[in-house]
Amino acid sequence: MRQIDVSQVSRALAEMAVEANCYLGEDVCGAIARCRKEETWPSAKDTLEKLEKNIALAAERQMPLCQDTGMACVFMEVGQEVHFTGGSLEEAIHQGVREGYKNGFLRKSVVADPIRRGNTGDNTPAHIHYEIVPGDKVKIVFAPKGFGSENMSQIRMFPPAAGLQGVKDFILRTVEEAGANPCPPIVVGVGIGGTFDRAALMAKQALLEPLGTHHPDPYYRAVEEELLERINGLGIGPQGFGGRTTALGVRIKTFPTHIAGMPVAVNINCHVSRHKERIL
Amino acid sequence: MERKEGKMARRLKAPLKKEDIKDVRAGDPVLISGLIYTARDAAHKRLVEMLEKNQALPFPLEEAVIYYAGPTPAKPGQPIGSAGPTTSYRMDPYAPRLLDLGLSAMIGKGQRSDQVKEAIRRNGGVYLGAIGGAGALIAGTVKRAWIVAFEDLGPEAIRALEVEDFPATVVIDSQGNDLYEIGRKRYLDSLSL
Ligand code: SF4
């Protein structure tokens, strides 16, 4: 048994909240730079240049890239040999988020009740997903999620007969309906299979994968590549003002499913595609 | 005037006179200087409730520019934190009423409803797009900021922003042209040339 004090988790999260919101990952920066070079439409190129300026300014001033510093999504991979000490792990996670959002001057974007609203004032609670894995390490992934893009996400329970064609059409339609709303260029996370909830979870987890990586199965890798090409043929462009660069990447995750079903979830992320990872 | 991608960015002064926007067209870059007000979901709900009760609004709507935004908190010594636009369609139910009462312009991002487009045309207003996700870049154009109303709403409070050369693009002009349709079409047409 390896003992880990929960205060370590709080501290890590408080730091990651600021890092994730002010410093964009190299994979995303690289993808934006590449798209800017390849973009042929002048106004689209101009917008992508501004996004790069924004990335540089945010890092220089340690200012959030975007004012929507998101709902705090925390993914915990906990080694089964780990024993947490010093209090409640769950409370320690919320505490880390609380500190990070307060000390880092991040926006508090969470309301206490979905219908009656009312800002909680400290961006908690975090949305936490736990997974127990072999080993004695703890992996924490922090992914603040903006709702301009979250709101454009969709899920649908397809009959198996809808097949690959049904899946592709649904993904393209979701992106097209989202249009300018999710701040294109976007990142598209797709979950296919499992149950209703599993599909949505996979779609979100797909957004945590570094851009440029692919589904291990060549069948799905080809679908990812085809969809990216077709999305960038829609003409929506950066900010929806027209152009090639509508998406930076498409990532699919899959899981076995029931004989009667084929759940498909599409989680949209914006160009401010934020996630930081740390191992304790 | 500043040269930008071959097109001169038109300088606009806020509060914004209708005559200053009657001939800007969808796709035109603009730079806004002057006083604008932030308001998003919860603030709009309250503004409309105040109108229903015949109460005076916390800022003059006549010729006003409303910026759909909820900035991050300012660090000490800075006027504002990250300050990009939020998605506009959530304000669609409220916007026509405000336009009918004299609002000149809305700044945000994303598609608007047909009702909003019609209200823009009817009133000679304009809908401007700011770059979503460029909050740090936009923050640099805000010189001063202060809370005007609804402080209890936190990030959703109404703030007055004094801006200088705030960059935006005309999305829906006073004739009802929509850049989200035109821009996409122009690009796609260019591919088949
Ligand atoms: S969709 Fe993303 S870039 Fe756009 S406002 Fe929301 S968090 Fe920011």
The partner residues of B2 in beta bridges, in order of sequence, read: B9
Say if strands B126-129 and B158-172 run parallel, antiparallel, or are unpaired: antiparallel
List pLDDT tens digits, range B71-117: 999 999 999 999 999 999 999 999 999 999 999 999 999 999 999 99
Range name among A46-50, A235-239, B7-11, B52-56 with the lowest pLDDT average: B7-11
- Position B192 scores a pLDDT of 85
Ligand 1 centroid to Cα of residue A21, in Å, is 11
Question: What are the structural domain ranges in chain A?
Answer: 2-20+65-145, 148-273
**Range(s) of the domain holding residue B10:** 2-191
CB contact under 8 A, A117 and B42: yes
For residues A73, A79, A82, A86, the Cα torsion angle rounded to the nearest 10 degrees is 0
Residues with CB under 6 A from ligand 1: A 66, 68, 146, 148-149, 182-183, 270, 272; B 84, 132-133
- Per-residue pLDDT band for B193 (boundaries 50, 70, 90) equals confident
List pLDDT tens digits, range B144-160: 999 999 999 999 999 99
- Shortest-distance Cα residue to atom 1 of ligand 1: A148
Between CA A136 and CA A60 the distance in angstroms is 37
Say if strands A127-133 and A71-79 run parallel, antiparallel, or are unpaired: parallel
Number of domains in chain B: 1
CB contact under 8 A, A50 and B184: no
- Closest atom of ligand 1 relative to the B86 alpha carbon: 5
Q: Distance from A175 to chain B by nearest Cα, in Å? A: 13
CB contact under 8 A, A119 and B180: no
- Position B7 scores a pLDDT of 67
pTM of the model: 0.94
Sign, CA torsion A196/A198/A200/A206: negative
Query: Would residue B60 show up in a list of annotated catalytic residues for this protein?
Result: no
B179 interfaces chain A, CB cutoff of 8 Å: yes
Whether B5 shows a pLDDT value over 80: the answer reads no
B5 interfaces chain A, CB cutoff of 8 Å: yes
- Per-residue pLDDT band for B2 (boundaries 50, 70, 90) equals very low
- Per-residue pLDDT band for B6 (boundaries 50, 70, 90) equals low
Mutate to test the interface with B, among A21, A63, A122, A177 (most CBs of B within 10 A): A63
Q: How would DSSP label each residue in A89-103?
A: HHHHHHHHHHHHHHH
Nearest CA among A191, A149, A194, A179 for reference residue A246: A179
CATH number of the structural domain spanning residue B22: 3.20.130.10
- Shortest-distance Cα residue to atom 2 of ligand 1: A270
Whether B38 shows a pLDDT value over 60: the answer reads yes
